[in-house]
Amino acid sequence: MVSFTAQQIALLIQGKIEGEATAVVKQFGKIESAMPGEISFLANPKYEDFLYTTKASVIIVNESLVLKKKITATLIRVPDAYAAFATLLTKYQEMKNENLVGIQSPSFIASTAKLGEQNFVAAFAYIGENVKTGNNVKIFPNAVIGENVSIGNNVTIHAGVIIYSDCVLGNNITIHAGSIIGSDGFGFAPNADGSYQKIPQLGNVIIEDDVEIGSNTTIDRATIGSTIIKKGVKIDNLIQIAHNVEIGENTVIAAQVGISGSTKIGKGVMMGGQSGTIGHIVIADGIKIAARTGITKDFKEAGITLSGYPAREQSAFLRAQVAQKNLPALEKRVKELEIMVQQLSQKG
């Protein structure tokens, strides 16, 4: 990391300094283990005790924090410490990538490909016919960009990413290692003899601006038309998104989610890890989906929370969980009542 003073960092994140403005940092560190020359942050009150024992030189904290003891570090107070630290990390990453310019060898770039300015193509990357890229695109080793792919500005494609033909990527996109964009959707028609005939997948994938896609995620091309990932979507690692899916703006999807074909997901949806959907359903804006929830029908009421399998509103799910917990006691009571009824009938 390049050396920065607390004053320079405060200007970058629009914070207020409390302590030595000339304190210098060269590395990032966790507050519980940071050393002199490192910068850290405190956003979760759970870790506040480390504020008084850390050896970090500079710490980003919330404006509202009230100190309980004296500290040795320089503080930078901001409205939201977590967001400010994320901004700082982003700026640092951008600075690192600014130095990555040029084309390494061996790599293959088709003669019909048109690359923008300030681009970087690492060794062993492949760029196919009629590919078009904007400016400041970074393509790392063993990435494959198929023919007729269009890529906007400020896009980072990490090692081993494969983007199939005809896909369209907007601006400010990051795709992490091993992900596959535009592979065939899972389409097979059953034959009378029990075999299956493959249905050609002729569509593409469109990824709009400000999207991030984690490692080893697969987004299938549409059978006809487009699989669409809209602006601001954040996708974790190890996720399957099937053909003709549409994911609305600013939706967040955690690891190991599976979304079946032609599902339409609204804006601002949050999908917990290992949740999933059947195909051809609609999920309304702002719905929160708990981890391991299985969605088997449309949910068109915005802003609700879903849990369980099959998915239902969380309040109903929790009531069912309580009832299930009481089943052994209820079973015992029913058996006792049956015995009482039998005894009474025998007396009669």
Of 158, 176, 243, 280, the active-site residue reads 243
Cis peptide, bond prior to residue 190, ω within 30 of zero? no
Neighbouring CB atoms inside 10 A of 256's CB total: 17
Q: Which residue has the tokens 């399957």?
A: 240
Three-state DSSP at 339 gives helix
Contacts of 60 (CB under 8 A, 6+ apart): 13, 15, 39, 40, 41, 42, 75, 76, 78, 81, 84, 85, 88
CA angle centred on 251, ends 228 and 280, rounded to 5°: 50
Assign 3-class secondary structure to 92-150: HHHHHHHCCCEECCCCEECCCCECCCCCEECCCCEECCCCEECCCCEECCCCEECCCCE
The encoded tokens of residue 343 equal 């005894």
243 catalytic? Reply is: yes
Q: Which residue has 């099959």 as its token pair?
A: 310
Is 236:255 a contact under the CB 8 Å cutoff? Answer: yes
Residue positions annotated with a catalytic role: 243
